[in-house]
Amino acid sequence: MGVEYNTSPHNNTHDMDEIRREALNDYQQRTKEQKQRVLNIFKAMDTDGNGSISIQEFVKSLQQKGLYRDHLYGLFTQLQTDNSGTLNFEAIITLKFMVDHDKYRNRLVATFSNVNTHKVTKDESASHQRW
């Protein structure tokens, strides 16, 4: 039995700004090893090595982690800090923070779905915890 989450796009920009601030504050408190882990994730996703992550790199990386392609486009849009069409390191700090915290993890599944709600199963939630 899944848990229902509202994925209406209203207030998502404001919500993401708050999550981003919380993520960056959390990152500053992390150990050198934990920060290196986030940098390694960024480098692994940046397959062409240009210092930013394209939508293609993002989708390919996260589909391998069990996220659904349909949800990744909306998540990519939310994680962008500008309209460049790419993600910077700050966006990956935010993404990792969301993966690591239960109260945000389900947004990874339900973000900007074509429907207003998505039932998150235990299997979907568990796949994100392994990252």
pTM of the model: 0.74
Question: How far is it, in rounded angstroms, from Cα 78 to Cα 15?
Answer: 10
Question: How far is it, in rounded angstroms, from Cα 85 to Cα 99?
Answer: 22
Per CATH, the number for 3-129 is 1.10.238.10
Which 3 state secondary structure label does DSSP give 47? coil
Element (H or E) spanning 60, and its range? helix 55-63
Higher pLDDT, residue 42 or 99: 42
Higher pLDDT, residue 107 or 4: 107
In the chain, domain spans: 3-129
Confidence label for 96 from pLDDT (cuts 50, 70 and 90): very high
